[in-house]
Amino acid sequence: MLTFVALFVVFGSGVSALGCEKLWVQFENHCYYSNQMPFSQRKRFEKNRTNSAGMVEEIQLQWAPAQASCKRRGGYLVEIETKAENDFIKKLAQKVKKAPVWLGGTDAAKEGYWVWGSSGKPLTFVDWKKSENYRYGDEPNNYGEYGENCMQLSEYDDYNAWYDVRCQRFRGFICEKPAT
Can you give the binding site for Ca ion, defined by CB under 5 A? 79, 81, 107, 139, 141-143, 147-149, 163-164
Q: What is the 3-state secondary structure (H, E, C) of 34-49?
A: ECCCCHHHHHHHHHHH
Least distance (Å) from Ca ion to the CB of residue 96? Answer: 21
- DSSP string across 20-89: --TT-EEETTEEEEES---HHHHHHHHHHH--TTSPPPPSSB-HHHHHHHHHHTT-EE----SHHHHHHH
Angle in degrees, CA 159, 89, 17, rounded to 5: 165
- Considering beta carbons, is residue 49 or 179 the nearer one to Ca ion? 179
- Considering beta carbons, is residue 61 or 115 the nearer one to Ca ion? 115
- Considering beta carbons, is residue 48 or 82 the nearer one to Ca ion? 82
Least distance (Å) from Ca ion to the CB of residue 159? Answer: 15
- Considering beta carbons, is residue 74 or 147 the nearer one to Ca ion? 147
CA dihedral 79, 92, 41, 25 (to 10 degrees): -60
Least distance (Å) from Ca ion to the CB of residue 58? Answer: 23
- Considering beta carbons, is residue 60 or 154 the nearer one to Ca ion? 154
* Backbone dihedral angles phi then psi of residue 27, each to the nearest 5 degrees: -135, 120
Least distance (Å) from Ca ion to the CB of residue 38? Answer: 24
Give residue 110's identity as a one-letter amino acid code: K
Least distance (Å) from Ca ion to the CB of residue 160? Answer: 14
